[in-house]
Amino acid sequence: MDYENELLLYHSQHIQDNSFSDHLVVGRKTPRRFWIGLLITLLSTIGISINNESIYILALTISSYQIGLSIGKKAHVYISSNSKHWIMLIIALVVQLFGDIIYAAAPAQFLLLLSRFFVGLGNSYAIVMVQKMLSRSKDTDLQKMRLRSISTTILAAFPVAALLIAIVSNFSIDHRMNIFSQDNNTSSFYGWLVVIFSALSLILAIIGSVIDKSQPFDDDTDQYLYEEQYPIRNSVSYRTQESCIIPPKWTMVLLCIVHAFICNSAMVLESLFVPVTMEVARYGWDMTKVASFFIGTGVTVTITTILAKRITNNTLLFYGSILFMSIGYSFMIAWPDVGAKDVAPMIRYLLGALFISIGYPISILTSINIFYQLKLSVNSVIFGRLLGPIISIAIYKDKGCNDAFLYAMILSFLSVILHFSLGKSIKHINTVSVIQKNVPILSTEDENNKLFI
């Protein structure tokens, strides 16, 4: 997700030499690589969004894409080089283009899983490379501005992609455009449309590598990202009186479970919205209407996410966003007066989907903020996004969409309850930044050495 990368890159850039951090660097033109990078980000993300919306119900494709996405975010820690960002970006876009071509040319089930893996891997790595290149600055305000510009561009790509689907779905297009197999409706055309966007991104990256004459920027980003995966904690940790209700190790595990619950809950909507809306709900909707709804949802989510970043109270944002998700799923559930196979009335159903779409990115944003404050890696996100589509589709096939939405709502409530129970332990688990005056402080090493018995 773009907000994950934005937080990761800002924290990594923030540990550089900040000799100019108290002063705004003025008199410099915005480098050409910044605008080229934004265009690459926009085009590649539009392609991703088109396929995410046009691929029909297949839980494993979503899981495969999420696996590639997670690996791509981790990979740059080990294989990227500060002096070859453009080369690594080109390689990532080639991988993404390869995956898009596989889907467009041969949308068989196994190849579809393979293509989505390559697309997730290439796109996530490319976005990280763009963010690393464009955020190079000793001015921390400029770093924030550039990273926010990238995340805003990514958010803006989703309604643009939905608009393209809405336009294309109105035309009668021959779907016999693949090579090895037959696909349904116009999804193969969507695949070739995505190939065009990926190819344009690759061409722009090649042009950018040629015209960008800036010197390699030596920073500690990769070393810091490595430390994010394997954090080196302070040799002496402290805790205030009555602050740690739950032991730190268990707090970490439970916090990871909360994060996985959130991702798992959100994957239910991502997996089921299109098939339920077009097949089960009997609303009379086609892909054009679904895409039109995504346009409005995308614009709303973009605005609310940007506004949410201006609020510094992570706890308030977290509980508010999870509450939005819980209310959203409660709206989408067909209440007990109807059968389990039925769907809620259309207005309530769509309002619920809108609430979840608003709550999910903000809840992940605040949850990851908490992780970074504790200097933790967020590996639990992989399991949440991997298992979420599979579990939701399994419940949908066996019990119906009603129980799948109920499952997601329960996970959202469990996230709130579990996080609330961890509140005091999270607040003081990394006590370097929180040491209250006139409160006795005890070193955990002193405890272990039995000096205060």
Q: Could you report the per-residue pLDDT of 292-303, keeping only the tens digit for each?
A: 888 888 888 888
pLDDT above 90: percentage of residues in the chain: 4
Answer positive or negative: Cα dihedral of 413, 415, 416, 420.
Answer: positive
Task: Give me 248's structure tokens.
Answer: 């730190």
Per-residue model confidence (pLDDT) at position 372? 63
Per-residue model confidence (pLDDT) at position 44? 83
Q: Which domains are assigned to the chain?
A: 1-10+30-227 (1.20.1250.20), 239-453 (1.20.1250.20)
Per-residue model confidence (pLDDT) at position 54? 55
| Measured distance CA(183)–CA(162) in Å, rounded | 20
Q: What is the rounded average pLDDT of the residues 207-227?
A: 58
| Measured distance CA(82)–CA(109) in Å, rounded | 38
pLDDT one-digit tens code per residue, 38-75: 888 888 888 777 766 555 546 677 777 777 777 777 77
Per-residue model confidence (pLDDT) at position 422? 78
Q: Which residues pair with 238 in a beta bridge?
A: 443
| Measured distance CA(257)–CA(243) in Å, rounded | 21
> 94 pLDDT exceeds 90?
yes
Phi-psi region of 230 (alpha: psi -120 to 50; beta: other; left: phi over 0): beta
Residue 271: pLDDT band (50, 70, 90) is confident
Residue 187: pLDDT band (50, 70, 90) is low
pTM score: 0.70
Q: What is the rounded average pLDDT of the residues 399-428?
A: 82
